[in-house]
Each structure stands twice: as C-alpha cells, then as structure tokens.
Amino acid sequence: MILLSLVGCMTMDSFFFNGVAVDEYALGGDVIPAENVEQVSFTTSDGWTDYGAWAHADDPDAPVFVYFHGNADNIDHYWGRVEFYWSMGLNVFIFDYRGFGKTGGDPTFDTLLDDADSAVGYVMDATGKPSEELYYHGLSLGGCAAVHAAADHPPLALSTEDMFANVDMIVDDASDLDLPPGWFVDSEWDNAAAAANVHVPYLIMHGDSDTFINPKSAELVYDQANDPKVIWHPLGADHDETPDVDPEGYAEHLSGWISGVDWPS
C-alpha cells in the first residue's frame, strides 16, 4: 500500500502529512477537568498562527511535557495520549503543525521544523522556563520535530517513539527497487543524522511489532545518538500501540526518564 502511494504521488510528502482540518477542537473525555484545559495560539517565526492546547496539572510545579504528535489527523486524535500523560502528573502541551487541525496551511519539512521551534519558544514564554527545564516527547513524525527542536533548544531530556530513521529505510521497506530517495521526497528526512546533534539524555522507544515503521530504525538512531541514551523495544507493540499494550512499562520508562532516575551514568 505504501509503495502504491509513493509511485502514484512521485513524492513522500503525502506519506508524512495526513492532517485533518477543523474549525474547533472537541478535546473530549472525562479524565481532565474542563478548567484544566486551555486552548491557545501562538505565532511562528515566519508569521503563521499555530494552535495548541494545555492540559494543566493540578501541581503548579509539575514537569512541563511538550508533546509532538504523529502524522495523522489533529490534536483531537491524540487527546487520549494527553490524558495519559496528564494522569502521570505532567503539565502537557500539544499543538498542531501546519496542515493539521485549526492551524491550517500547507505542511512541508521546513514548516514542520519551524512549527516545532516556535512551539518550544511559546512554551518557554508561557511558563517562564528555559528549554533546559522542559521535556520533549515525539511520536512517529513528531519524533522528527522533537529531535530537531532538541538540537536547536536543548530540553532537560528527550524521548521519541516509533520514529523512522531516514527516508532510505522507508524506501527499502516499501519496495525492492533500488531508487534514490530524492525520487520520492523533496527534503532530507534524516532523523538519525539529526540525533547526532542532540546532546541531552535521550530515550528511544520503538515497538518490536511495528508494521508501519521498521523497528530497526531505532537501532540506527541509537547508533547516531550521544550519551546518555537508552533504547527500549516494547514487546508486542505495533505502531502507536505501546500505551495500550504495556501502559505500566510505558509510564515507568517515561517517568524514570523525566525524573533522571533512569539516565545512564
């Protein structure tokens, strides 16, 4: 299916961006009280307006958790994740890239990185905290955004989940054709190389049963990443399934990384 999509479009841009535009967010559920939810907007460095939402923790001193979501839908689709993190006692911020939700516009590799950097800048302004006191977590496409943001604005610590290493691996998995990645994609989507520019504690998570992004991607990223670093392959987890397959292990790994308890010495 991936190969047919690639050949039909002659580019991988549609593979990376599958946002759904909305006029208003639902942000439903009974987990987070309405008074703890705050919808906001911020201006990017190139003048665009991005939209996001806070799930404020009851504890004003709770860790600030910046969540970079995946390549599908919009904030509403990931609200269950926000509830999970909020239930861990985190002060969670989520936002939509261009082409997603209320943010609108046309997404590209460059706008994704600008949206990520601008979101971090907004969070620093809103909380009065430097990036070194924030925590970044990126899911799939959001891993790309988080890794690049971590190089520009180093956080306290970083984690990525089910992130692809580079375009070459995606193309190799999609077909047996020996074609240059540039035939499919207009930009350099090399997250493993970007990881080499990150110098903060880095937790790399990738389900060992991921059928969408090859779990070997995590090994390539780990090889390029700097110490301290840890890799974890949740057993039986397909793409974006770890919180459902192993919620306790997932929460333990994240909380241990946020607190610094699990950082290798």
User: Residues 127, 61: contact at Cβ < 8 Å?
Assistant: no
Residue 226 has pLDDT above 60, yes or no: yes
Residue 218 has pLDDT above 70, yes or no: yes
Could you give the C-alpha distances from 133 to 64, 149, 154, 200, 224, in angstroms and in order? 8, 14, 9, 12, 24
* Per-residue pLDDT, 265: 78
**Exposed, middle or buried: residue 219 (CB in 10 Å: 0-12, 13-18, 19+)?**
middle
- Confidence grade of residue 167 (pLDDT, cut at 50, 70, 90): confident
Average pLDDT, the chain: 90
Highest mean pLDDT among 21-30, 132-141, 171-180, 181-190: 132-141
* Per-residue pLDDT, 132: 97
* Per-residue pLDDT, 189: 82
Mean pLDDT of 142-164: 96
Mean pLDDT of 60-66: 96
Taking each helix axis from N to C end, the angle separating 216-224 and 167-174, rounded to the nearest 10 degrees, works out to 160
* Per-residue pLDDT, 173: 62
* Phi and psi torsions of 200, nearest 5°: -135, 160
More confident residue, 9 or 200: 200
- Confidence grade of residue 41 (pLDDT, cut at 50, 70, 90): very high
Mean pLDDT of 61-88: 97
User: Residues 262, 230: contact at Cβ < 8 Å?
Assistant: yes
* Per-residue pLDDT, 199: 97
- Confidence grade of residue 16 (pLDDT, cut at 50, 70, 90): confident
Whole-angstrom Cα distance, residue 179 to residue 170?
Answer: 12
Q: Domains in the chain, ordered, with CATH?
A: 2-259 (3.40.50.1820)
Whole-angstrom Cα distance, residue 130 to residue 210?
Answer: 35
pLDDT tens digits for 169-193?
A: 776 665 444 445 555 555 578 999 9
Mean pLDDT of 141-160: 97
